Structures are given as structure tokens and as C-alpha cells.
Chains A and B, each alone.
Chain A
Amino acid sequence: MGAYILRRALILIPTLLGVSVIIFFMLHITPGDPAELLLGERATKEALHDLREHLGLNKPLYVQYGMFLKRMVTLDLGETIWTRQKVWIEIKQRFPATIELSIAALIISCTLGMILGIISATKQYSIFDYLSMLGALAGVSMPIFWLGLVFMLIFAVNLGWLPISGRLSVGVDLEVITNFYILDAVLTKNGEAFRDALWHLIMPAFTLSTIPTAIVARMTRSSMLEVLRQDYIKTAKAKGLSQFQVIFKHALRNALIPVVTTIGLQFGVLLGGAILTETIFAWPGVGKWMYDAVMQRDYMVIQNGTLFIAGLFVAINLVVDVLYAVINPRISVK
């Protein structure tokens, strides 16, 4: 197992190298440059020249790529062009917000998706099955943007149950340690902040979870249906086991394998979907940050942020692969 993990970890190097080549050259082929956008209409030739010189944009492309590689090797993510802040500090401030949101969405979609999937599979062709699969179809096709606004109108504006946007209400004090607000509230035993942070999390997490919930539900249903038709399930039933035992002890474990793969991939999708959710709910995460960086051509943010996320994505896939082995001992890792 140890050797396997090491080998997979080593694959990270060529992967990141590939990502760096693609992202660097795509960025620099894309028209527009940060100096022009930073200075806008008032750019004088002199100001543009000075700024490009300062940012190293006047150097040949291969030199710039070399500098990028050098920083990568020394694990230095550099400094952003717009905010003049170390990239890793910006990531550190924003990434927990995105992860908090994504994890919450993932928990919702796993729980809800699996429950819906299991019930639909065991009660195939029932009215519940039709309704939940219709809901799943709607969930996949619903634009996050629209859904977020509808949620806001219903639950925040009309019912007044939940806050509209943001991560914490103005005036609620929270001592920030990890930047995961829920965790920080627990660590500092701050009940008010905990409740407030949780309340702020609910709506964006539900909005973000709609698509993964739908996908997990459909995946669980079809995988369950397949497993339920297997002979060993019939045997289990014939032995006189209860419905509960058949489903949860015999069927579910096998049915979960493809579902876990899907969930692992969904985490990446969640990080991508977070851009929209974060924009609507004024959630100060990494998605909105990256989007702004693309619009402003902040090369440092885009290059290093993408590298960071790519690295994380590979790492999550590794975790998922290891999880396979835990769920199903027949799959051995070599």
C-alpha cells in the first residue's frame, strides 16, 4: 500500500509540469495583458512600459516560463499582480471558505442522493421513484444562478429564515484560526458565531449541491438495481434475512463502488461550480477570486492558483482510489 501511494504521489510531478505548460502558454497566447487592464483608458506609453518592465512582461516568453518553473520548484507561489500580496496568503484566506462550502455541499448531496437512490431502487417504478428521478433530472438541469436567487427570495426575503449572502453577519465577532469559520467557532467555543456561520452556509451549500445530489441519486439507483438482481441477493433473501439487512449489509457495499468514484469526481465539479455559487452568495472563496483573476489577467494568480487546484485534484483522486480498497477488499492496490 505504501509503495502504491508513493508511486501515485510521484505521478503528481509530471502532471503538474503538464498543467504548468498548458496554463502558462494558453495564458500568454490569450490576448490582453495585466498592465493594459490595470491602467485602463489612462495608460500612457511610459506608464505601460514601466509597469511591464516591473512585472517582467517585457522579457521573452521562455524566460518568463523559466521563472515560473523556478518558483514552482522552490515552492514559491510568488506575488499577485493586482493586490501585491503573496499568492499563498491569498489562497490561505480563501481556500477554506471554498472547501467549507464544498464539503457542506458534498455531505448534503451524498446523504440526500444516496437516500433517494436507495429508496428509488428498492421501490422501482413507484410514484416515489418517478418523483425523485424527475427531481434529479431537474436538479441537473437547473441553472445554479437562477436557483440561488429563487432560494434567496423564498427563504431569506419572504420567510426571513436565513441570511441572504456572505459568510458571517456584520457585528458577529469570530477569532479566526483556520479560516474554516464553523471549525473556528467550535475551537473558540463561540456559540453565536457557530450558529451564524452555519446559517450562512445552508443556502449556498444547498444551491451548490443540487447537481451532485442528482447525479449521486441516479448513480446509486442504477448501481443498486444492478446489484439487487444478482444471485447472492436472491440467496440472502432466500435465507430469510430482513429487507434492511439485505440492502445495507449485502447490496449497498457493492453498489457503492461506482458511487464513490462519482463522488470523488464530483468534488472537482463542486470546486468549479463554486465560482457561480460564490458570486451569487458573496462567498469569499477561491472560485470568485480565480474568475476575477482571469478577467484581470492576473497571471500570478491564474498560474499558481490553477497549479494548486490541479495538485489538490490529483490528491483527492488518490484518496478515492485508496478508499476503493477499503470498501472492497477484492480490489487490491499494487
Chain B
Amino acid sequence: MLKKILVLILLAVLASVGTSVAAAPKPGGTLIFGRGGDSVGLDPAYETDGNSFMICDNVFEALVEYKDESTDVEPLLAESWSISPDSLTYTFKLRKGVKFHDGTPFNADAVVFSLGRQMKERKIKFFGKGWEIPSQERPPEYWVSMEMDKTVDSIEAADEHTVVFKLKRVEAPFIANLGMDFADIISPAAFMKNPKEFVRNPVGTGPFKFIKWVKDDQLLLEKFKEYWNKKGGPYLDKVVFRAIPENSVRFLELKTGNIHICQFPNPADIDLAKKDQKMKLISQAGMNIGYLGFNHMKEPWKSNAKLRKALAAAINRKAIVDNIYQGQGQLAKNCIPPTMWGYNDAVPMIDYGVDKAKALLAEAGFPDGKDLPEITLWSMPVARPYNPEGLKVGVAMVSDLAKIGIKARVVSFEWGTYLKRQREQPPDMDLFQLGWTGDNGDPDNFLAVLFDGMADPAIRTQWHNQQYHDLMTQGKQTIDQAKRGEIYKNAQKLMYDEMPVIPIAHSTQTWPLLKKVQDFKLHPTASIRLRNVWLEK
């Protein structure tokens, strides 16, 4: 008996050793990716949604990319780059021997073409013959919203493998911006063949090439055999993206093995997946923030920081994260996610406490909420990555505020109206929920874009604080990342002291997938990279 047990133990140990040694990737197979919706279009310059970008992530590549598990930038189609002493000229040396899926070579002219076509006033120069780029089909949304026209002055090809960007202003996040999808390099030849149809026939240099698209049903990619990087993948022969709108149906498809990965499951299905022998779960803290903002165009919120802090102490944020985010979230203390460089971990967590909140409220000049009329709390009508159920969050907050004597009511509008009216900061808005999903992994993309109201009247939080504004300007104009990190840490400390918004949570994504899918990772930017994914037989 003892012998038998020993043998069993030995076998178990051997088995565990066997699995812990990373298996070598096996090429071949078709991966079926189940997603909640179809792509809108496949021209990276004009898309705005995740379902479109996840295809672009695998068909196209940009000059730089974010590392596998963070948003630190590393070279991709550019081998290296140098920045002039005045930080206004960026020179990129490009990788040689890279081909587009249509067989045409990748070179400096392709870079000038891909990015130059997005400029409002095209100051571009090709090295070779170049192309007469047709006028823009519509404004390239990301290029415009990342204010690239205000940053980039000209793009020139110095020789076949060198591109020079001249900037109008010092812009530290510039390199990080070039890792975003809109900055992907497309095949000029394929685009010029039929500019109107490129959106449905994308050609890039990525590890997979586009084959076929049946709208609202299936989109097929195939391994690009001449992919330039011989280290690593692509391993999969084919990838099929299937649009299955219903969350529970998508999960059933996974359960029966018809798909390999199930995007955005219902929270209840995550528990089922845990118990399923054939499935595993993968999690990633999202690069996002959900917050509660104050109307800074209106008193008493505008100039009473104590009052803002009283509200922060009154709201039981932990209960909201536990119950409404259903564990798929992380309580926030800063307005940038903890995975991002420049995150200030020394900022204390906002304490929840009714007594403390009441004391602060009295100090603020409103003991027991007296003299404070009924306030409105705008709550989001739709689920967003950073806030799964705005209305429920709103109701929870209203009841928390009632405990310290503040009367509040939930107000909501249809989503488009909500976004539009919120930007106007109307007097009938006191508090509002909103949030953000990061674009380029740069703290500037959260802290300046969301909270520096002095920079632009269209910033959603019209908080006007000179010290904060100076910090943001400094951050943009400092190139050294370590120094920038310090600047943003100070900004987070200032936000804790002034409480211009109440940070609520960073949400986490958890997806079930079949165990035989290997080396699939979720990226903080939510991009889907299948290059190194392979299937166990």
C-alpha cells in the first residue's frame, strides 16, 4: 500500500514537472475567436472601436509597439530613432527586408504615405516617386483627437530607410502615440489600387494577412508566411473571428468547443468556467479609470475642496467595487491605473467613514448637509469598460450621500445626449460619472486629457488649477521619462489634496478560453495579439 502511494506521489511530481517546463510552440491549426460584435472597418486611421482594432493589431504594424505586458515602447518597424537636442526633430531608422502582404516592400515612403494621409495640411516628402494621395474620406478620428496636427509639422523620407518627423511643439508622448493603431503602416500600393475599398481589404506587414469577411458573421485571417521576424510566431495557420452578440450564447459555443476564446463573458459564467475541466481563465487589469466628477463651473463645488473631500469620504467605494463590479475591478486611489509608469503609490487611499465625512461636511460649511439643495448625480446609461452599471453605481452613491444628510437624485440621459450635455457643464448637473480607457500608456493621456480644464474648454472636467496646469505643461515638454514620472507623481498628490474628482475603480477583464490555447495574453491597452499564440494538439 505504502509502495503504491509512493509511486503515485512520484508520478504526480513527475507530471507536474512535465507541465511546468514550457512546451515548445507547435505550428498549425485554426483558432476561432468569439467576440461580441463585428468590426466596423479595417483601415486603422479611421476606426474608433475595439472590434476593428483587434483585426488591425494582427494585420498591421506600426513604427513602435508596446511591450507584451506593459505600455513601455519598443521598436517594431523602426529599428531605432534619435531625437534632436531641441526635441523637435525625430529621425527613425527603418527595418530592412520587410514586405507587405501584397509583396510590395516596406520603406520610408510607406511611412510618409500612411501618416501623411492623415494630416490636414500635408507637408510631406517622398524619397521615391511617391503617390498623389486622394483627399481624406472623413476626418481621421484618432489623429484629430490626439491633436497630431498641432504636433506634427512635416514628415519626410530622407532615404529609403529613414524618416524624419519635424514637430511644431515639444510633445513628450509623441513616441507613445506612434504605437497606437492609427499610426499603423499600410501598403500604399494596395490603398491606391482602390482607396474606397481599402477599409474592407486591408494590407499591412503584420503576422497575419486578411482573407475574407462575411459581415456580422466571420472574418478570416491567414498566416503570413513571409513575415519578417523569424523569431517566434505566427504559429496559427488561420484565425477566424466570429461575431456572437449574446454573451451567454458565446459562452455556450466555448463550452461545446466551437470557439477557443470567449470575449466579455457574463460574470456568472466566469464561475462556471472555473469549474470546467476544459477551460482556463485569463485576467488583465485594464488601463482605465471610472470616476465621479464635480461640476467645477458651479458653486459650491468649484471652490470648496473640503466639501469635495466630504463626499469622497461618504461614498463607500469598496462596496461598489465588490458588489457592482462583481470583483472585476480594483479600488482606485489615483486617476491613472497602477500598471502605468508614473503611478504614485505613496498617495493614501481615500478613507470611507460616515463620521469623518460628516466632520468634513461641517468644516466645509454645510453641517448635516444643511443649506445644500437637492443635488443631481448624473449616471451613465450604458456599460463601459470602466463602469459596468452606471445606474446601479448612481443609486448606491445616492444612498451613501443620504447617510451624511446630502439629498441627491440620479439623473440619466441617452448616451449621446449624456456625452454632449456633460461637456457643456450645465447648471442642472452637480455630480457626474464618467471614465476613460487609455490610448497610448502615457500618463499625459489620462491626467492632462481628462483633468486639466485650463488647457481647453472641451476637457470633460473643467477643473481650473494653475499649479496642476503648470505640471501638465511641464510633463508634455520634458522628454526624460524618469523626470516626467516625478512630475506626474506630484500631480497625483495634488489631486488627492484637491479632490477635483473622486476616483472609483479600475476594471479588470477576465475571459475564459480553452486550455489548449497557449501563450494568449490580454494586453493593458486591450489590443489582441495573436502572433505568438499556438494550439496544443
Complex-state Cα separation, A50 to B136, whole angstroms: 12
Complex-state Cα separation, A163 to B32, whole angstroms: 15
Q: Which of B139, B199, B245, B436 is in CB contact (< 8 Å) with A50?
A: B139
Give min CB distance, B28 to chain A, whole Å. Answer: 14
Q: Which of A82, A94, A153, A160 is in CB contact (< 8 Å) with B216?
A: A94
Q: Which of B145, B244, B258 is in CB contact (< 8 Å) with A42?
A: B145
Minimum CB distance partner of A179 in chain B: B214
A84–B138 CB distance below 8 A? yes
User: Interface 1/0s, chain B 296-319, versus A by CB < 8 A?
Assistant: 000000000000000000000000
Minimum CB distance partner of A93 in chain B: B215
B246–A44 CB distance below 8 A? no
A31–B413 CB distance below 8 A? yes
Q: Which of B9-17, B40-48, B337-345, B398-406 contacts A (4 or more CB under 8 A)?
A: B40-48
Residue B497 is within 8 A (CB to CB) of chain A in the complex: no
Interface residues of B in 1-40 (CB under 8 A from A): 30, 32, 37, 40
User: Interface 1/0s, chain A 256-283, versus B by CB < 8 A?
Assistant: 0000000000000000000000011110
B435–A282 CB distance below 8 A? no
Residue A166 is within 8 A (CB to CB) of chain B in the complex: yes
* CB contact under 8 A between A41 and B416, given known A164-B258, A284-B214, A288-B245: no
* CB contact under 8 A between A41 and B436, given known A31-B414, A149-B248: yes
Interface residues of B in 217-269 (CB under 8 A from A): 217-218, 240, 242-246, 248-249, 252-253, 255-256, 258
Residues of B within 8 A of A285 (CB): 216
Residues of A within 8 A of B32 (CB): 170
Give min CB distance, B41 to chain A, whole Å. Answer: 6
Residues of A within 8 A of B216 (CB): 94, 284-285, 288-289
Give min CB distance, B417 to chain A, whole Å. Answer: 4
Interface residues of A in 15-53 (CB under 8 A from B): 30-33, 36-47, 50-51
Residues of B within 8 A of A93 (CB): 214-215
Residue B147 is within 8 A (CB to CB) of chain A in the complex: yes
B458–A167 CB distance below 8 A? no
Residue from the set A50, A149, A165, A170 with the largest chain B CB neighbour count within 10 Å: A165
Residue from the set B200, B216, B414, B436 with the largest chain A CB neighbour count within 10 Å: B216
A83–B41 CB distance below 8 A? yes
Give min CB distance, A191 to chain B, whole Å. Answer: 21
B41–A170 CB distance below 8 A? no
Residues of B within 8 A of A38 (CB): 48, 141
Complex-state Cα separation, A173 to B30, whole angstroms: 15
Give min CB distance, B501 to chain A, whole Å. Answer: 14
B199–A84 CB distance below 8 A? yes
* CB contact under 8 A between A165 and B249, given known A37-B415, A282-B242, A297-B416: yes
Known: A31-B417, A40-B48, A170-B30. 14 other contacts (CB 8 A): A39-B48, A41-B384, A41-B434, A46-B144, A51-B139, A149-B248, A157-B256, A165-B253, A168-B217, A170-B218, A170-B240, A279-B245, A282-B243, A282-B249
Q: B-side interface residues toward A, CB under 8 Å?
A: 30, 32, 37, 40-41, 46, 48, 137-139, 141, 144-145, 147, 199-200, 214-218, 240, 242-246, 248-249, 252-253, 255-256, 258, 384, 413-417, 419-420, 423, 434-437, 439, 449, 456-458, 460
Supply 7 A–B pairs (Cβ within 8 Å), ascending by A. A40-B419, A41-B434, A44-B456, A84-B46, A84-B199, A284-B243, A288-B216
